[in-house]
Amino acid sequence: AQTVTQSQPEMSVQEAETVTLSCTYDTSESDYYLFWYKQPPSRQMILVIRQEAYKQQNATENRFSVNFQKAAKSFSLKISDSQLGDAAMYFCALTGTASKLTFGTGTRLQVTL
Amino acid sequence: NAGVMQNPRHLVRRRGQEARLRCSPMKGHSHVYWYRQLPEEGLKFMVYLQKENIIDESGMPKERFSAEFPKEGPSILRIQQVVRGDSAAYFCASSPLLQGGIAEAFFGQGTRLTVV
């Protein structure tokens, strides 16, 4: 069985500052992908960033980057230069060869002026 | 290239009625997944389908829930005799067929079911 744990129910960051959201996971598979999804109030699930487990290099997408620690089974998301539009629920997710996604419980990010 | 289309966006049903949720995958995608999101929770996997086949239904409640993905037309998630606890957002995702490897899933906007 796969599990994903997000231990921060809520986080807050000031505009233009940097924030890191934590995620740990467990899987018995050697081939898997990790994702961060953003869910704004519109409920749309928006893919923020993805990481293939076989890649050692951490993925980056503009202001978003991950710290992937495979041995520790940790996959944190760093948001740099935070903007008001970054306020949302953020979900960490894991998929393996079974193709279905296992989600964490989410972290609600608030961005303050 | 249209994304994953779900309809309706909002559905209200009285207890005991049937709810039908539709999902049209992205063009070229042959895999469909259904997830349920209860209020203030993450998404939970329900079922994984390919055309005319249920691949994995390990997350589906044993009673009242069924899903299909026919050769023609959208995938349907059907909930019979709805109860208040079925109130949730139901998300559909689709992915392409890959020979080996892992495919990225693309999500629809969800259907919010409210049972009154």
pLDDT in tens, B55-92: 999 999 999 999 999 999 999 999 999 999 999 999 99
CB atoms within 10 A of CB A30: 9
- Of residues B42, B93, B105, nearest to A105 (C-beta): B42
Residues 6+ away with beta carbon under 8 Å from A19: A11, A13, A78, A79, A82, A109
Distance (Å) from the alpha carbon of A47 to chain B's nearest alpha carbon: 8
Distance from CA of B96 to the nearest CA of A (A): 11
Q: Give the pLDDT of residue B91.
A: 97
**C-beta of residue B102 within 8 angstroms of C-beta of residue A96:** yes
B18 at interface of A, judged by CB pairs closer than 8 A: no
Contact yes or no for A100 and B31 at CB 8 A: no
The answer to whether the CB of B20 falls within 8 A of the CB of B76 is: yes
Compare all CA atoms of chain A with the CA of B57 and give the residue at the minimum distance.
Answer: A100
Per the prediction, chain A carries an average pLDDT of 94
How far is residue A24 CA from its own chain's centroid?
A: 10
Q: Which residues of chain A neighbour B89 with C-beta distances below 8 Å? A: 43
pLDDT tens for chain A, residues 1 to 113: 899 999 999 999 999 999 999 999 999 988 899 999 999 998 889 999 999 999 989 999 999 999 999 999 999 999 999 999 999 999 999 998 777 899 999 999 999 99
Furthest-apart CA pair in chain B: how many Å?
A: 45
Per-residue pLDDT, B1: 52
